[in-house]
Amino acid sequence: MSDDTDSTAASCYLDEKTFRLSCGLFLEHSSFLNDGWAWEEVNGSEKEGYMKKTVMVPCRISSTPCQSNQSRLVDGDDALLEEEQLCDQDEAVGEPTAAEGQAAVRYEYHVLYSCSYQIPVLYFRASTLEGRSLSLEEVWNNVHPNYQQRLLQGPWDTITQQEHPLLGQPFFMLHPCRTEEFMRPALETARAERKGVNYILTWLSVVGPVVGLDVPLSYALAVGPPAPKAEATTAASTASASASTSGPD
């Protein structure tokens, strides 16, 4: 009994080899769709890299950007705001105010492997066409209200600003500490139905829409799990080929 429990818990995590294999399969379908995903190597090393996609989306931005004292994008226990603050925030999500406007914003998404958490992590940054980076509050204001509630109550916990572990630049990050809470049911259901799961696809389909990153349905129909005995070098080759066909941003 305990062995089964341990096995179930362990399956909620991902080793780096499976991460790269899963990314390789995901990138194959992206290349077929011309969906914009590519594998980026770091310092020319196949051992270090990440999946990347850049999109332009219309967003609400402040004409006078500043850090609000009422920002909902905070770490840890501070994310549990008072109910009246939530109500105020809900009222704020709607038509742009006099100090806000619609603008095209460049979102750059990175999918990295975390050795500490043994799971993928989604990093992203957003900037206007003029090159100004969006503030935490502006990013939060462009998260759909339904996802705002989830971020405050779990399982994702919060959006934070962190240094990119491979690039050393400031990025936003969906904190991964509760990934197991939404991956466990998906993996257990797949196991019960004797279906294979591509961890990257399942995970990204859940966390991506929170920050405006949608995954087309065709991925679910076309992208399967890595072959049990596949080699990590195969995924690296596939990822590199996909990056080449995707071209520069």
Instruction: List active site positions.
Output: 177
Q: Residue 171: what are its φ and ψ, rounded to 5°?
A: -135, 160
Q: Note whether 24 and 235 are within 8 A (CB).
A: yes
Q: Note whether 10 and 224 are within 8 A (CB).
A: no
Q: Note whether 120 and 114 are within 8 A (CB).
A: yes
CA separation for the pair 156, 175 (Å, rounded): 6
CA separation for the pair 40, 236 (Å, rounded): 10
Letter for the amino acid at 138? E
- Measure Cα distances from 67 to 14, 62, 64, 187, 249 in Å: 36, 11, 10, 39, 30
CA separation for the pair 82, 104 (Å, rounded): 32
Characterize the bridge pairing of strands 100-114 and 38-42. unpaired
Could you tell me where the beta strands, DSSP code E, fall in 3-94? Answer: 38-42, 45-62
**Which residue is it, tokens 């705002």?**
148
76: its two tokens = 């840890």
